[in-house]
Amino acid sequence: MVPTASRSSSSVFVADGEVNLRMDGMDAATTSVGPVVEWLTRLGAEHAQWFVSCYLKLEPRDRSRGKYLIKLKNRIRERLEWLDERGVDRAVRETVERDLRRVREYLEHPGNLPPGRGIAVFAAEPLELFAALPLPRVLRSRLAVDRTPLVRELAALDDEFGMVLCTVYDRTSARFFKVSAFGAEELTGLPAGDTTRAGRFHGGRTAHSAGAGLAGAGEHNFNQRIQEEKHRHYAQIAQRLFDLARGNSVRGIVLAGTGADADAVRPHLHPYLARQVLGATRLNPKSASPAEVMESVLAVRRTMEREWEAKYIEELREARGRGWAVSGVEASLRALSHGQVRTLLVDPTAERSGFRCSTSGRLTSVRDACDGEGAPDAVPDVIDDAIEDTLRLGGHVEVVEDETGRSDVDGLAALLRFRAR
* pLDDT in the model for residue 193: 53
Distance between CA 267 and CA 91 in Å, rounded?
65
Query: pLDDT tens, 126-144?
Result: 998 999 988 888 888 999 9
Distance between CA 271 and CA 127 in Å, rounded?
52
Distance between CA 82 and CA 70 in Å, rounded?
19
Lowest mean pLDDT among 57-61, 155-159, 168-172, 225-229: 225-229
Query: pLDDT tens, 4-43?
Result: 433 333 344 443 322 233 433 333 333 567 788 888 888 8
| pLDDT of 198 above 70 | no
Query: pLDDT tens, 276-324?
Result: 999 999 999 999 999 899 989 989 988 888 899 999 999 999 999 899 9
Query: pLDDT tens, 99-111?
Result: 999 999 999 988 8
Residue 126 CB contacts under 8 Å (≥ 6 apart), including other chains: 47, 49, 95
Lowest mean pLDDT among 24-33, 64-73, 351-360, 372-381: 24-33
Q: Phi then psi for 148, rounded to 5 degrees? A: -135, 150
Residue 228: pLDDT band by 50, 70, 90 thresholds? confident
* pLDDT in the model for residue 219: 64
* pLDDT in the model for residue 1: 38
CA distances to 67, 196, 398 from 391, rounded to whole Å, are 27, 54, 11
CA distances to 326, 335, 416, 419 from 331, rounded to whole Å, are 6, 6, 12, 13
* pLDDT in the model for residue 214: 55
Query: pLDDT tens, 322-333?
Result: 999 999 999 999
Query: pLDDT tens, 54-96?
Result: 999 988 888 888 888 999 999 999 999 999 988 888 999 999 9
For range 253-278, the mean pLDDT: 89
pTM of the model: 0.76
Distance between CA 279 and CA 253 in Å, rounded?
7
| pLDDT of 185 above 50 | yes
Pick 193 or 255 by higher pLDDT.
Answer: 255
CA distances to 126, 211, 280 from 202, rounded to whole Å, are 79, 12, 35
Pick 162 or 356 by higher pLDDT.
Answer: 356
Looking at 129-180, which runs of residues are DSSP E strands?
129-135, 142-146, 163-169, 174-180
* pLDDT in the model for residue 222: 54
* pLDDT in the model for residue 356: 93
| pLDDT of 412 above 90 | yes
| DSSP state at residue 191 | P
What type of residue sits at position 367?
R
**Cα angle vertex 341, ends 336, 345, to 5°?**
100
* pLDDT in the model for residue 205: 47
Residue 50: pLDDT band by 50, 70, 90 thresholds? very high
* pLDDT in the model for residue 420: 67
For the chain, what is the mean pLDDT?
83
